[in-house]
Structure 1
Amino acid sequence: MSRSRKILVVGPSWVGDMVMAQSLFALLQRGGPNAPATTIDVLAPAWSLPILARMPEVRRGIVMPIGHGEFGLKVRWKLGRELAAEGYDQAIVLPNSLKSALVPFFAGIPLRTGFVGELRYGLLNDARRLDEAALPMTVQRFVALGRPAGSPLPEPFPLPRLTADAANQAGLRERLGLATDRPAVVFMPGAEYGPAKQWPLPHFAALGRELVARGYQVWVSGSAKDKPAAAAICADNPGVIDLAGRTELGDAVDLLALAEAAVTNDSGLMHVAAALDVPLVAIYGSSSPEHTPPLAQKVAIRSLRLDCSPCFQRTCPLGHTRCLTDITPQSVLAALEGLGAGARRIAVPEA
């Protein structure tokens, strides 16, 4: 029997991209009847470890001890020399930066795969030209790096599927005082990229009022950066629960897995919800669902596809953001109902 094949993946720096990378991990493990077993380690930012821990394909996450954007040549050399002892057979480098290819090179990994990116010839010895027209989606580009150069993508390729921590779910419900007798719809109003990807907060608030009136719980999820947005949605909106900044990333994953549905901007948590197979309404403004769609079956996309969108700008260059403001709360509620969520009238227990 051939020995296990060991692969080091240099992971991306964004939540959504890390979730989409699970399609690559699953493909690498799929192999074939005579293929050797595959061990996958992921070199990644510290924040991503809870995500990786919920991917059964990953043996371990290895923390990259340098912040995003830092070069840190000496630190990368030291880490590479430490990882040389692991005896990896291949490295797959998902980011396109020169610095992201340094650790596998310093580790002496014999096969180092990635797209050419920032002139990484030498650092990569399996450097491939990216055909953006043939691979328009980020997940397709990740999966392609797990195939021999020039090979077609598998059809279908595996979708990301995160595994929730049931014990943590129970603890979170108790700590956060979340009811168990009513279904929850989760709102994710954040968008790290900028306001041109954020559905208006009054629209979220109006949708929340309608769902609460029907007997649903509404949880607003996000990081500490999303607290002002969450507070605006929850203001004068009893029954909408502000969880922003009260949970870690792993907690957010586990809470999403409990939800009946989610409503989200194009964000990292959108991809988390999709990977948990939670029915999902995804709202697109300045970005495009053709490039980074939620990878799941139970998805309703809300995008007006105006002549001026997608513009891929952080703020609306025309100043009106109609691509988002004209998506009404009623249309999103209808999308939820089409997914089988939000339509029921649920009796609220008396206090």
Structure 2
Amino acid sequence: MQTTQVAIVGAGPSGLLLGQLLARSGIANVVIEQRSADYVLGRIRAGVLEHTCTDLLEAAGVSARLHAEGLPHDGVCLSFDDRLHRIDLLGLTGKRVTVYGQTEVTRDLMDARRAAALSTVYQADEVRVHDFLDGSAPRVTWVQDGQAHELRADFIAGCDGFHGVCRASVPAEKIALHEKVYPFGWLGVLSDTPPVHEELIYAHHPRGFALCSQRSHTRSRYYVQCSLDDKVENWSDEAFWNELRLRLPAEVAARLVTGASIEKSIAPLRSFVAEPLRFGRLFLVGDAGHIVPPTGAKGLNLAASDVGYLWQALEGFYAGRRGEIDHYSQRALARIWKAERFSWSMTLLLHRFPENGSFGARMQRAELDYLFSSQAAMTALAENYVGLPM
């Protein structure tokens, strides 16, 4: 039987970032992950980082490649009526965002954990969490290569995602779940082609939403709104590029460089929050506790701010300020709900909702017209996009 101070379930970016920050504060931790390291690295996810996220990566000592290879963006573009409209993030807020893929963040954190010889268990089967509600010695158990293992800890951090075991282990009467499932998904394509624009483009179009994003100067990530019933097999690369062109302003579509997709997938959209985020000695972090539609670029950033709050709380606990862990859930949820509101409002503004009829379409148009005629409205969007303060 092993012992540690903090058992971290999940080796995605939130679990690895928490482990790195705790280790730099002298707090022992072990990470347990059900999947292989290669599987975790193979997940294609977000790539727009708020300044709060980059600050935490700096505190974790893993920002060198981010600063060398990340792409700072001072603005973001929305398109409608065949025109591009720019939000000057830096001018309106004094802050910018950085484009740097979640896969690269995860790789940097894995490399740092390996270099520091911190304990990580991959391909752990039958992971379970025990005795976290009332006990002073919670446990994590798992099976690996047919052998049972047990880890005792002061605390358990549930960083194991929406489908993970940690939230599922909380008794139903102790947790409230809030959810909205949207009636569409995003068909995404990753390609080794130069981005169509130097900044991200969020496109509102009668045919449906589209997003032009990027991972580097030579790798692009594009999305189009699609039906939940759609299948990736229904979309050839040519069909995808043709549909994307139709949803972009003509001047942008003319510059689009196409190529073979290196990844293609359909992701459903949902808003989800679990309350509270603390259950005795168990804390929910990141996607284990909340999901946002990707329209607001908040998923990874919210997970990072959860990590920041929990790191501060645990650091305080081990420094003798034991009451700080009592405020983790309240502090994290206050920021989560504001990000949920922003992501929900961006989703409603930019996507096609046929069930809302002509009135709903005109309301979207009125909102877009107002947005770009009001400095206050543009500032509010910019403040939320670059990230509210922790």
Shorter-chain TM range is: 0.3 to 0.5
Which structure has greater helix proportion?
2
**TM-score scaled to structure 1, two decimals?**
0.35
Q: Please, what TM-score do these two structures have when normalized by structure 2? A: 0.32
